[in-house]
Amino acid sequence: MTPAKRLPLPEFIALIAMHFAMVAFSIDGMLPALPDIAEQLSPTDRNRAQLVLTSFVFGMGVGTLFTGPLSDTFGRKPVIIAGAALFVVGAALAAQAQTLEQLVAARILQGLGVAGPRIVTLAIVRDLYDGRRMAQIMSYAMLIFTLVPAVAPYMGAFIIDAYGWRAVFLSFILFAVIASSWMMIRQQETLPPENRRPFRISKLWAATKECFSYRAFLVSTCAQAFSFGILFGALSSTQQIFDQTFGRGETFPEWFALIALLGGIASIINARLVIALGMRRMIAIGFGGQALISAGVLCLGLTIGLPFALYIGWKTSIFFMAGLVIGNLNAQAMEPVGHIAGLASSVIGAVATVTGVLLAIPVGYLFDGTTVPLSFAIMILSAAGFFLVQWKLK
């Protein structure tokens, strides 16, 4: 089989970004709905509404264990399409949920499905590109990806005002259908049959052990978990902080859009600098800078209180950090495992995502009306990521 023909680079980046964006849209589009969900389905414990976000991410993390190996066996495109179909089923069930438990279960199913588009598209990038070129493509894809958090709360708020929070799930279905149709029509299969691996537990276990035998893979996966813990923790409580801490719940979509757009500048900066400076240095800058900023925010929160303007700056810096570290950590982890790219992308995605969720859930439950618990957690996780990369990747 001849190698897959590459799409024009702008179209390829847009296609990859749209599949990544299914995750962002499914999280950020729900943020304006959390107060209504809490009021209707969990009025006695409003913090439980955060499970609508973390349950989705948890399902995605679990699904990630399987989608990569399945794509190594059956090819990339069939697994992406099947995952999108499961995502659609989960969204349809969520739209009809009558209890928080039913909604959480449907969101887990939705997360299981989205693991296909999220993980297998990363394997497609690795099939076609490697090294710093892969990191550069990931940075540009992340740039487009950041536009979705900017507009998703607007879209969610508009849909909720017009049709109620359940209608948000119908927009998820439409998004998934468009993305998967584009992939099916335009992108050729990138894994030829002769390079596919049988779906055998023994071989999967051997390949998994091989992944973790590489220091770059192990360290990058652990650091990725810290970065996801920071991002998920910040997202889980962001609507409550705007509403309860600063009394700006009505203008939340506008502020969140500003934060996402400003944070997206990091992807442009990374794309321009990663070729010259390298991935490890960019990761260290992202983690180290965030540790220092969060330490300052913590001190203000414990003394005079954090002004709203500085909160906006801090939240922007969290998105900025994500733009500097996440794409580079993925590329760095995948570098030595191109021959098992599907499985490798599954392992790093599953371990980092599930661990990130487990780190984020208690941070969300500790919300006490201030920014102190969140700033303390982000400071610790950022410092851990910085020292891990600096000490273990030299």
Per-residue confidence (pLDDT) for residue 392, from 0 to 100 = 67
Taking alpha carbons only, the member of 173, 140, 168, 166 closest to residue 15 is 140
CA 302 to centroid of chain Cα atoms: 30
Query: Using CA atoms, how far apart are residues 198 and 44, in angstroms rounded to an integer?
Result: 50
Return per-residue pLDDT of the chain as tens, 394 residues: 455 677 888 888 888 888 888 988 898 889 889 889 988 998 888 888 889 999 999 999 899 888 888 888 899 999 999 999 999 999 999 999 999 999 999 999 999 999 999 888 888 887 887 777 777 777 777 666 667 777 888 888 889 988 999 999 999 999 999 999 999 998 888 888 888 877 777 777 877 888 888 888 899 999 999 999 999 899 888 888 998 899 998 888 889 888 888 887 887 788 788 878 888 889 999 999 999 999 999 999 999 999 999 999 999 999 889 888 988 898 888 888 877 776 777 788 788 888 999 999 888 888 888 999 999 999 999 999 999 988 766 5
Query: Using CA atoms, how far apart are residues 311 and 316, in angstroms rounded to an integer?
Result: 8
* DSSP class of 30: T
The encoded tokens of residue 85 equal 């179909």
Per-residue confidence (pLDDT) for residue 394, from 0 to 100 = 58
* DSSP class of 31: G
Q: Is the pTM of this model over 0.85?
A: no
Task: Using alpha carbons, list the distances in angstroms from residue 171 to 81, 168, 205, 387.
Answer: 18, 5, 38, 41
Q: Which amino acid is at 70?
A: L
The encoded tokens of residue 230 equal 């920071």
Query: Using CA atoms, how far apart are residues 92 and 344, in angstroms rounded to an integer?
Result: 31
What backbone torsions phi and psi does residue 368 show, to the nearest 5 degrees? -125, 20
* DSSP class of 243: I
Per-residue confidence (pLDDT) for residue 345, from 0 to 100 = 73
Q: Enumerate the H helices of the chain as residue ranges.
A: 9-28, 34-41, 51-74, 76-95, 100-128, 131-163, 168-186, 201-212, 215-240, 252-263, 265-277, 279-302, 308-334, 341-365, 372-392
Per-residue confidence (pLDDT) for residue 66, from 0 to 100 = 84
Per-residue confidence (pLDDT) for residue 104, from 0 to 100 = 95
Q: Which amino acid is at 189?
A: E
Long-range contacts of 131-135 (CB under 8 A, 24+ apart): 131/331, 131/335, 132/274, 132/275, 132/278, 132/279, 132/331, 134/331, 134/334, 135/270, 135/274, 135/279, 135/327, 135/328, 135/331, 135/332
Residues 214 and 336 sit within 8 Å (Cβ to Cβ): yes
Q: Which amino acid is at 238?
A: T
What backbone torsions phi and psi does residue 358 show, to the nearest 5 degrees? -65, -30
Max alpha carbon distance in the chain (Å)? 66
Query: Using CA atoms, how far apart are residues 53 and 239, in angstroms rounded to an integer?
Result: 12
Taking alpha carbons only, the member of 46, 32, 64 closest to residue 159 is 32
